[in-house]
Structure 1
Amino acid sequence: MISINIYNDDCIEVMSRLENGSIDLILTDPPYNLGNFMKNRDTNLGKMRKNFFGDAGWDDMDFKEWEESMNRFFDKSSNVIKTGGSMIIFMSILKVETLIKIAETHGFYYKTTGIWHKTNPMPRNMNIQFVNSTEAWLYFVYKKRTGTFNNDGAMYHDFIETSVTSNGERRYGKHPTQKPEILMSHFIDLLSNPGETILDPFMGSGTTGVAAKKLDRNFIGIEIDECYFKIAKSRINEDKQA
């Protein structure tokens, strides 16, 4: 019987209470520190989407504040993850080098930077520039060079292509940076085994938890925003009943 534990709290506080070396895979999508940057860009995104992340307020840190928050995150992650455990963290490509430097100071071995390509991105500014259709993700292993990788002899590229999150996955409410279930399932399948424990410290609307539950993994999710936490709880509870 797998366990699901979700918390409406600050991730640093909750991770401080988790058992050391209890997590097999950290799969998460933290703030990209782009809120203020995007507000100063010549973009029509705010007009096209009411829940634009740049207006949400949770991505408005200055760079030094964001950098310190990521340093605290990796510090706590290094306590709770097992030796040989893996981490996938989504991030703006503008911040990749900074994140790698922080991760390495806490014992995380950098494996690769990959790309998620959205096959049907929002066509913002399509008549004046290239449409933004990609996001980066980084792959780390803690204290080892290689962790679990269930490829069964197949070759997996560091390029993943899916559609954006469907309306069906948003029926309990919308999160401005919600990832599709198929994307999170891809990493859970490859980098963990049934019965192991997945942690998402920036749970958002709960996609990682839904995917982990369906793939017979234990799940710990943390989300500080009460509105998004309620969405995640509804989604994961529905999957419990499915």
Structure 2
Amino acid sequence: MIDKKDKISKEYFVNITPLSKIVIGDCLEKMKLLPDRSIDLIITDPPYNLGLFMKNRGTNIKGMRDNHFAFSGWDDLDFASWSIQMELFLQECHRILKKRGSLIIFMSIIKVETIINLAVKNKLYYKTVGIWHKTNPMPRNMNLHFVNSTESWLYFINDATTGVFNNRGKVIHDFVESSTINISERKYGRHPTQKPLTLICHFIDLLSNEGDIVLDPFMGSGTTGVGCEVLNRQFYGIELDENYYSIASDRLKAKK
């Protein structure tokens, strides 16, 4: 449950740990609490706006997985409304990111072009689209068609063409491979689109330095924040759902 101290965060960011501050609310409103040019890196996993699409396909997803995002209620905007919301979000990203700050945004492959166009329009320099390959995806309908084992991520730089890139002399591919979340990452509760800690730490380590400020405006269960705790970055998180906020708070305190 959310304690009395954490309830303050319905209005403002509050410290959950010495490194992490989080808040409950709509990210388009709560991002306004952050000063211009104050964030070094944004890593986030916004709604892909696929809820209605998945429901209309007539699949048996709900019968197989009762925690699926298609039935979450927060992924059901029509395309025009979703596009407007994403443009407003990207405008805020441009405002609060430092010059040469980075943005990593996970997204469905069928929405990649839309995100690129909206981001470039708002002065975010497009670097690349990459792939996260899940080594243990749900084998849904494996006897009928290809198993869905990948998700896309997009990489942008704010008001510049290059930013922090800690490759340490190694070739870094645009193809990241890992398993999905493990049991320990579900200890405090489940989120239907939760990303594994190893994946998020890959980007935090590569695109920021110790002490930098990292923001996740769609915090979910707090994986980005946990990665910041592990890698000694400052973290700001925004989450609309009070239950997920509570899960994130518990995970941040435990650093798991």
Scaled by the length of structure 2, the TM-score of the pair is 0.92
Which residue of 61, 64, 84 corresponds with 1:45?
Answer: 61
Deviates more, 1:10-19 or 1:175-184: 10-19
1:88 aligns with: 104
**2:73 aligned partner, one-letter code:** G
Q: Mapping of 1:2-151 within 5 angstroms?
A: 3-151=19-167
Q: What is the alpha-carbon distance in structure 2 between the residues aligned to residue 89 and residue 2 of structure 1?
A: 26
Q: What is the alpha-carbon distance in structure 2 between the residues aligned to residue 42 and residue 146 of structure 1?
A: 44
Q: CA deviation at 1:71?
A: 0.5
Deviates more, 1:83-92 or 1:10-19: 10-19
Deviations 1:163-194 (A, max 9, x none): 01111101111100000000000000000000
- Give the secondary-structure state (helix, strand or coil) at the position aligned to 2:53: helix
1:218 aligns with: 234
* Aligned partners of 1:25 and 1:81 also within 8 Å: yes
Q: What is the alpha-carbon distance in structure 2 between the residues aligned to residue 44 and residue 140 of structure 1?
A: 36
Q: What is the alpha-carbon distance in structure 2 between the residues aligned to residue 123 and residue 54 of structure 1?
A: 17
Is 1:188 equivalent to 2:204 in the alignment? yes
**2:247 aligned partner, one-letter code:** I
Q: What is the alpha-carbon distance in structure 1 between the residues aligned to residue 37 and residue 220 of structure 2?
A: 24
**1:202 aligned partner, one-letter code:** F
Deviations 1:96-149 (A, max 9, x none): 000000000111000000000000000111110100000000000001111000
1:203 aligns with: 219
- Give the secondary-structure state (helix, strand or coil) at the position aligned to 1:101: helix
* Aligned partners of 1:21 and 1:83 also within 8 Å: yes
Q: What is the alpha-carbon distance in structure 2 between the residues aligned to residue 169 and residue 17 of structure 1?
A: 29
- Give the secondary-structure state (helix, strand or coil) at the position aligned to 1:127: coil
Q: CA deviation at 1:44?
A: 2.6
Q: What is the alpha-carbon distance in structure 1 between the residues aligned to residue 190 and residue 141 of structure 2?
A: 23
Q: CA deviation at 1:43?
A: 2.5
- Give the secondary-structure state (helix, strand or coil) at the position aligned to 1:212: helix
Q: What is the alpha-carbon distance in structure 2 between the residues aligned to residue 83 and residue 106 of structure 1?
A: 13
Deviations 1:194-231 (A, max 9, x none): 00000000000000000011100000000001111111
**1:141 aligned partner, one-letter code:** I
Q: What is the alpha-carbon distance in structure 2 between the residues aligned to residue 122 and residue 171 of structure 1?
A: 20
1:174 aligns with: 190
Q: CA deviation at 1:2?
A: 5.3
Q: What runs of 5+ residues in structure 1 fail to find an aligned partner?
A: none
Scaled by the length of structure 1, the TM-score of the pair is 0.97
* Aligned partners of 1:33 and 1:63 also within 8 Å: yes
- Give the secondary-structure state (helix, strand or coil) at the position aligned to 2:195: coil
**4+ residue stretches of structure 1 with deviation over 4 A?**
none
Q: What is the alpha-carbon distance in structure 1 between the residues aligned to residue 62 and residue 51 of structure 2?
A: 11
**2:133 aligned partner, one-letter code:** H
RMSD of the TM alignment (CA)?
A: 1.1
Q: What is the alpha-carbon distance in structure 2 between the residues aligned to residue 129 and residue 3 of structure 1?
A: 45
* Aligned partners of 1:43 and 1:125 also within 8 Å: no
2:4 aligns with: none
* Aligned partners of 1:43 and 1:124 also within 8 Å: no
**2:68 aligned partner, one-letter code:** F
Q: CA deviation at 1:42?
A: 4.0
